[in-house]
Structure 1
């Protein structure tokens, strides 16, 4: 049975923290692939806060280029309305019943799982992989239903990257070089030509 990890998010933009998480989970859980799954309309975000679908697809494609076990999945982008994880996994399990799915969540989400849409149904389709900060543990009533991993921490967020660009600061080494070039070429997030090559 194939084992596939899913890393969901807005990926606006994808950064080296996402890649590190994917690699660590791939190795520690002995998975066959990690699917990077950009959300269409994340339930917790306003739609005007998110870059276009095409730009986010292109950035993820560039971020995972050359890594055969990292796959772009557009399943949530092909569905209208808010992206609820339970609907996505139900659809995937129907199409791929012989695949064992693992859904990756950060430490901040572990203690909020009880607020997720139809969480008990979701556990029928997927095993959660919760990422813990070294030396910390997040309490959850679902601990017996998930794998808890400790991985190296990179304190980078997409929000921080967007803010840096708005202030005219470099994002070199925060994102893969192909992604940085794409952001600068498209002048995303208020990027101007003046910060190129920094």
Structure 2
């Protein structure tokens, strides 16, 4: 029997409660064996506006998921240089872990963008896509995706970086361990 693994990709700069809620909801609804948080090197669809290091992002994810034995970190995209395309990454992961069945979690904003993904038809044959609702986006596509409703929580990493830079509170938006790390390391101009 294959191990059912959810992949939640993102910049996680920083990881916040919205990420954790999505991971938790998908994990339980699909009865997965594990959720792997996969930080991107360079996402093809956006530029990173932060100067945090990969080490900082990994440490913040570790702090965010500590205590949950079903959450882990997949660093494959950080081991490669250049743009991170899901097709290339998943091909490598499947070769490394042939006994895993992968569920790739994306927000409704990315569901709308699926027709533009590199080798999307081949990717659809390799993995299952899980689309989660997001404010102001529809979960509509001609592609076969598993739709999961998650509680709406309008938190974004860019909002947290902005608040931190302007000395506004970020309490209750992310786990305290992550907040402490941001403050101790003076990330985002805090």
TM score, norm. by length of structure 2: 0.95
Query: Aligned residue for 2:43?
Result: 42
* 96-105 vs 47-56, which moves further: 47-56
Post-superposition CA distance 1:113-171 (Å, at most 9, x none): 0011111111122100001259x7432110xx210111111110001001111111010
Q: Name the CA distance, whole Å, in 1 between partners of 2:109 and 2:71.
A: 24
Report runs of 4+ in structure 1 exceeding 6 Å deviation: none
1:2 aligns with 2:13: no
Post-superposition CA distance 1:10-41 (Å, at most 9, x none): 00000001000000000001100000000011
Q: What is the CA RMSD across the aligned residues, in angstroms? A: 1.6
Q: Superposition pairs for residues 128-147 of structure 1, below 5 Å?
A: 128-133=129-134, 137-142=138-143, 145-147=144-146
Q: Superposition pairs for residues 1-198 of structure 1, below 5 Å?
A: 1-46=2-47, 49-133=50-134, 137-142=138-143, 145-191=144-190
**Any conservation in 2 of the 1:26–1:34 contact (CA below 8 Å)?**
yes
Q: Name the CA distance, whole Å, in 2 between partners of 1:72 and 1:7.
A: 9
The alignment partner of 1:103 has SS state of strand
The structure whose Rg is larger is: 1
**Any conservation in 2 of the 1:102–1:126 contact (CA below 8 Å)?**
yes
The alignment partner of 1:31 has SS state of coil
More contact order relative to length (CA 8 Å, sep ≥ 6): 2
Q: Name the CA distance, whole Å, in 2 between partners of 1:31 and 1:15.
A: 21
**Any conservation in 2 of the 1:35–1:73 contact (CA below 8 Å)?**
yes
**Any conservation in 2 of the 1:10–1:50 contact (CA below 8 Å)?**
no
Unaligned runs of 5+ in 2: none
Q: Name the CA distance, whole Å, in 1 between partners of 2:76 and 2:177.
A: 24
Q: Name the CA distance, whole Å, in 2 between partners of 1:50 and 1:147.
A: 34
Q: Name the CA distance, whole Å, in 1 between partners of 2:160 and 2:149.
A: 24
Q: Name the CA distance, whole Å, in 2 between partners of 1:47 and 1:130.
A: 23
Q: Name the CA distance, whole Å, in 1 between partners of 2:18 and 2:91.
A: 28
